[in-house]
Amino acid sequence: MHHKLLALLALCLTTFLYFGVPWRHAPISYSLPAGVTAANATLGFGAVLAVSRPQSPRREELLFAANLTGVEITIPLQPKWTDADVARLKADRGSKITRGSALAWLGHLNALKWYGNLNTVLFPNFQEARLTRVHRYRFLESGLETALILEDDVDWDIRLRTVEVPLVAKAFRKLLHSDATYWADLSQWEMIHLGHCGDIFSADKFKGMPHERFVDNTLPPLKRMHTKTQAFLQRLGFGEYERMIHRSSWPLCTFGYAVTQASARRISTELAARETDGGKQAFDVRTLEACRDLGYKCYSANPELFHHTEAPSEIAEVNQGTDEHGRLQAQSTDVTPNIACGARSKQFFTNDKATLDFLKMEVGEKGHCLLDEMEPDRSKWPWVI
């Protein structure tokens, strides 16, 4: 009798969680093609690192999304940057970098070097009150061959690990004609831009560009994409639910980018150790120049897999404004550009462990996007990169 009662309670809890939360649409899920399996917890890289200062208000949502989708994120501990640190980063002549952009730049360099105490952040309550591991080595000396670096305000689709990354990695291996590792021959690339704010170029340039095109049904319909992305894909002759991996052309924004040990060393010592004379507005402008002008071997997933959430950026909070690209402009809408079912959606967020366990199974593992039937038509929302 006792076992029957427990089974009944479990059934009631599952029914409540499924029908009691504010989701009404039938679950929608996607499966991988034959021969393709879900990526591991670090998405096929040696580590997934987040650029995040201590006490960042963005960490809780980042960690929730990681926990929901089974992604293991490590946050290298950043020192408290001083005026002297900022001064050392600035060019001697013609500096253009703002303090906010300088702090972000230093955060990326810290992740590329990756040393000191590290927090492994897959806790059920999303807190970093305790250190679970202490490392005293740099990424460049760690033995790890690759790392994916994310900014702490990025969002991604709930099927990132189970569908999207496996499809992109498979296409990338095909493009480079290499199965040497999950991400092909590491000597053939230096940066893979999986998150950016639009690597957009002309149709004429696309004709001779190395690329691999494939179907990805986790993408939103074209009409629901950012208007610039929609126009770009249509200009290239792309239809619904098509993605590609290609040689980078204009990969602005560093929402999510992969590096190898060799390229991390090159970026942190040769390319972006400090602002060049004449000035650079931001770290991402400098890395764009590396891909566009300096012969770095860079590739981009298009549309992107990571995009920043529509919330005020920390750079803007420091600078009290945005740069001329508008890349940091805050939005009030609860949607992430070019992401069909964002893992950071406020509809998913919960501090209740039982609900979280249910969501990890239904949303993270099975890929069911449980949408509120009262949600506004996303195609009408004004997305601005």
- What tens digit of pLDDT does each residue of 90-138 get? 999 999 999 999 999 999 999 998 854 444 444 334 444 333 343 444 5
- C-alpha distance from residue 67 to each of 231, 352, 359 (Å): 34, 13, 10
* Separation CA 385–CA 373 (nearest Å): 27
| Per-residue pLDDT at 66 exceeds 90 | yes
User: Per the domain annotation, does 354 fall within a domain?
Assistant: yes
For the stretch 329-354, pLDDT in tens is: 333 356 799 999 999 998 899 989 99
Q: Which burial class, exposed, middle or buried, applies to 6 when counting CB atoms under 10 A from its CB (0-12, 13-18, 19+)? A: exposed
| Per-residue pLDDT at 206 exceeds 90 | yes
Closest CA to 78 of 115, 46, 41, 47: 115
- Percentage, residues of the chain above pLDDT 70: 74
Which DSSP letter does residue 32 get?
P
Dihedral angle computed from the Cα positions of residues 189, 191, 193 and 197, in that order, rounded to the nearest 10 degrees: -140
For the chain, the farthest-separated pair of C-alpha atoms sits apart, in whole angstroms, at 80
Which DSSP letter does residue 214 get?
E
191 with 268: CB under 8 angstroms? no
For the stretch 159-205, pLDDT in tens is: 999 999 999 999 999 999 999 999 999 999 999 999 999 999 999 99
pLDDT recorded at residue 54: 87
- Across the range 78-89, mean pLDDT stands at 95
> Burial letters for 307-332: b for 16+ Cβ neighbours within 10 Å, e otherwise?
bbbbbebbbbeebeeebebebbeebe
User: Per the domain annotation, does 19 fall within a domain?
Assistant: no
* Separation CA 270–CA 51 (nearest Å): 20
Element spanning 49, H or E = strand 48-51
User: Per the domain annotation, does 243 fall within a domain?
Assistant: yes
Strand-pairing partners, residue 156, are: 306
Contact partners, residue 212, CB within 8 Å, separation at least 6: 171, 172, 174, 175, 244, 245, 246
pLDDT recorded at residue 31: 63
pLDDT band of 36, cuts 50, 70, 90: confident
Q: Residue 272 sits in which domain range? A: 44-376
Rg of the Cα trace of the chain?
A: 21
Which DSSP letter does residue 157 get?
B
| Per-residue pLDDT at 315 exceeds 70 | no
Q: Are strands 48-51 and 73-76 parallel, antiparallel or unpaired?
A: parallel
20 with 119: CB under 8 angstroms? no
User: Per the domain annotation, does 281 fall within a domain?
Assistant: yes
pLDDT recorded at residue 371: 65
pLDDT recorded at residue 299: 98
Tell me how many domains the chain contains.
Answer: 1
User: Per the domain annotation, does 280 fall within a domain?
Assistant: yes
User: Per the domain annotation, does 247 fall within a domain?
Assistant: yes
pLDDT recorded at residue 303: 97
| Per-residue pLDDT at 364 exceeds 90 | yes
Residue at 10: amino acid letter: A
User: Per the domain annotation, does 309 fall within a domain?
Assistant: yes
195 with 256: CB under 8 angstroms? yes
Computed over every residue of the chain, the mean pLDDT equals 82
Tokens of 293: 């002008």
User: Per the domain annotation, does 12 fall within a domain?
Assistant: no
* Separation CA 106–CA 88 (nearest Å): 10
Q: Which residue has the higher pLDDT, 92 or 27?
A: 92
